[in-house]
């Protein structure tokens, strides 16, 4: 039996992971701002501990981790799932909007991770799942600030994977594409109100209409993602990056091809900035 610590467990991917973990016989420390939303959804279950957690509150994160350890004795999987989106051109986002987004999507993830890792290091095992997005691999117009939080998560996760490997702790970056959850609804998505007229008709401006049109029409099946995460977590050698969705796979392939093409075009200039090699200097 694995013990999961899941943030944002009351809805979306968090709730689906909680459901899958409980169904497989695992235990779940299911956190939400209001833990009643978890118990209302799943009822009383011997393997479920619903805990209050605002990920921006580090003291509360430590209390939640300690409560989970007191109940189950260990934490095997940390799923840093809590977060939300911000739609609007980079220039349109206010400092307050940016800081609030980072407080949850980046600093919140760090606070929860710092609360849980001491227990994983002590047991010399564990698996950290950091939820990113295809927007953390490729910058979309209109999603720049949100994407930047996920780029940060990707960079942190790469370093963590190397840092935690000596302790037997795995790290996987979860990269969903567009899935049919409520992510594009106002419960999970903020839209910057400071609309600049110049962006109307541009890719960033057009993207503002995307949420209303695409919500609940996304190609990804959330239940299958949750099942896929269970398969990945139970594998012998889980990956550093786990993309989910045909749109994510296509965009990663497109991004790789674009980077390779650009590197080939500018390779000579890129290499010209090194000091001459000893052989060249002696010639």
C-alpha span between 17 and 244 (Å, rounded): 14
> 198-211 burial by CB neighbour count: b if 16+ within 10 A, else e?
ebeeeebbebbeeb
C-alpha span between 175 and 29 (Å, rounded): 23
C-alpha span between 118 and 96 (Å, rounded): 32
Q: Give mean pLDDT, residues 59-85.
A: 97
Q: Give mean pLDDT, residues 66-91.
A: 95
User: Which pair of structure tokens corresponds to residue 210?
Assistant: 């995307």
Task: Round the average pLDDT of the chain to a whole number and report it.
Answer: 91
pLDDT number for residue 190 = 76
Q: Give mean pLDDT, residues 44-53.
A: 96
Q: Give mean pLDDT, residues 128-139.
A: 91
Task: Pick the more confident residue, 192 or 141.
Answer: 141
Q: Give mean pLDDT, residues 102-108.
A: 98
pLDDT number for residue 179 = 56
* Residue 174 banded pLDDT, cuts 50, 70, 90: very high
What phi and psi values does residue 136 have, to the nearest 5 degrees? -95, 0
* Residue 279 banded pLDDT, cuts 50, 70, 90: low
Q: Give mean pLDDT, residues 49-63.
A: 98
Q: Give mean pLDDT, residues 150-170.
A: 98
C-alpha span between 102 and 145 (Å, rounded): 9
Contact status, residue 118 vs residue 164, Cβ threshold 8 Å: no
pLDDT tens digits for 256-276? 999 999 999 999 999 999 998
Residue 183 has pLDDT above 60, yes or no: no
pLDDT number for residue 187 = 54
pLDDT number for residue 232 = 96
pLDDT tens digits for 3-17? 999 999 998 899 999
* Residue 217 banded pLDDT, cuts 50, 70, 90: low
Tell me the CA distances in angstroms from 245 to 158, 177, 233, one per residue in order: 21, 5, 17
Residue 195 has pLDDT above 90, yes or no: no
* Residue 68 banded pLDDT, cuts 50, 70, 90: very high
DSSP state at residue 276: P
DSSP states of 1-62: --EEEESSTTSHHHHHHHHHHHHTT-EEEEEESSTHHHHHHH---TTEEEEE--TT-HHHHH
Q: Give mean pLDDT, residues 78-90.
A: 93
Report the share of the chain in percent with pLDDT over 70.
Answer: 90
Residue 144 has pLDDT above 60, yes or no: yes
H or E segment and range at residue 94: none
Q: Angle at which helices 107-123 and 144-164 pack, to 10 degrees?
A: 20
**HEC readout, 175-222:** EECCECCCCCCCCCEEECCCCCHHHCCCHHHHHCCHHHHHCCCCCECH
User: Which pair of structure tokens corresponds to residue 76?
Assistant: 């095997």
Which of 167-171, 181-185, 216-220 comes out lowest in average pLDDT? 181-185
User: Which pair of structure tokens corresponds to residue 75?
Assistant: 């934490």
Residues marked active site are found at 132, 146, 150
Contact status, residue 129 vs residue 176, Cβ threshold 8 Å: no
C-alpha span between 186 and 84 (Å, rounded): 10
């Amino acid at each position: 039996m694995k013990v999961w610590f899941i943030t944002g467990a009351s809805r979306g991917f968090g709730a689906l992971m909680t459901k899958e973990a409980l169904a497989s016989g695992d235990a779940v420390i299911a956190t939400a701002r209001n833990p009643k939303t978890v118990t209302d959804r799943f009822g009383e279950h011997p393997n479920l501990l619903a805990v209050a957690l605002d990920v921006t509150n580090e003291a509360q994160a430590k209390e939640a981790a300690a409560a989970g350890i007191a109940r189950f004795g260990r934490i095997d999987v940390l799923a840093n799932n809590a977060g939300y989106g911000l739609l609007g051109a980079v220039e349109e986002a206010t400092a307050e909007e940016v800081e609030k987004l980072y407080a949850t999507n980046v600093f919140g993830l760090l606070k929860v991770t710092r609360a849980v890792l001491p227990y994983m290091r002590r047991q010399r095992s564990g698996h950290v799942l950091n939820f990113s997005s295809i927007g953390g691999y490729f910058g979309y117009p209109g999603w720049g600030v949100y994407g930047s939080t996920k780029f940060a998560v990707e960079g942190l996760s790469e370093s963590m994977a190397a840092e935690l490997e000596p302790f037997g702790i795995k790290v996987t970056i979860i990269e969903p594409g567009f899935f049919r959850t409520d992510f594009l609804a106002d419960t999970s998505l903020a839209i910057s109100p400071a609309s600049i007229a110049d962006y109307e008709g541009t890719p960033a401006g057009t993207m503002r209409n995307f949420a209303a049109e695409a919500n609940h029409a996304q190609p990804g099946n959330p239940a299958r993602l949750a099942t896929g995460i269970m398969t990945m977590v139970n594998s012998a050698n889980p990956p550093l990056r786990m993309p989910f969705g045909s749109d994510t796979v296509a965009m990663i392939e497109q991004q790789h091809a674009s980077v390779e093409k650009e590197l080939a075009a500018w390779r000579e200039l890129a290499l010209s900035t090194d000091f001459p090699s000893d052989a060249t200097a002696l010639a």
